[in-house]
Amino acid sequence: MRKYKQVKEKKVTYDLDEWEEVERRAAKMHMKTGTYIKRVSIDKRISYCDMEAAGSVVKAINAVGGNINQLARKANEINSIYAEDIEKLESGVKEICRIVSSFLSTQQWGTL
């Protein structure tokens, strides 16, 4: 059995305009150019979604994270937790699920 996996390396040449386009697309996908080229050559296309609009989703997730932290501290202090606190936490999680679902369903998914 071989110790290292076998690989194949291929040199590809781009003109400057083509390379700028590859760099632009890779940056849009938050990838290194080499990773982008490899993914595109294997997967044929990459789907993306503009995540700048995800601010409200991130806020909701952070709020629930804060609630979970507060409940954990309270439970550790008194070695108990109230059913009301658990219900608040459950409603927060349901709200996050609703927001994420709504966000994803309204996003424009594109391909490069």
How confident is the prediction for the chain on average, in pLDDT?
80
**Angstrom distance (rounded) from CA 7 to CA 17:** 29
How many domains does one find in the chain? 2
Helix 83-106, helix 55-78: angle, nearest 10:
160
Tell me the pLDDT tens digit for each residue of 33-55.
999 888 888 877 666 776 666 77
CB atoms within 10 A of CB 39: 15
| Residue-range definition of the domain harbouring residue 68 | 51-111
102 and 63 co-located in one domain:
yes
- Backbone dihedral region of 68: left (phi > 0), alpha (psi from -120 to 50 degrees) or beta? alpha
**Angstrom distance (rounded) from CA 25 to CA 14:** 14
62 and 107 co-located in one domain:
yes
Tell me the pLDDT tens digit for each residue of 69-89.
887 787 788 877 777 877 887
Q: Is residue 1 part of a domain?
A: no
pTM across the whole model: 0.43
24 CA to centre of own chain: 20
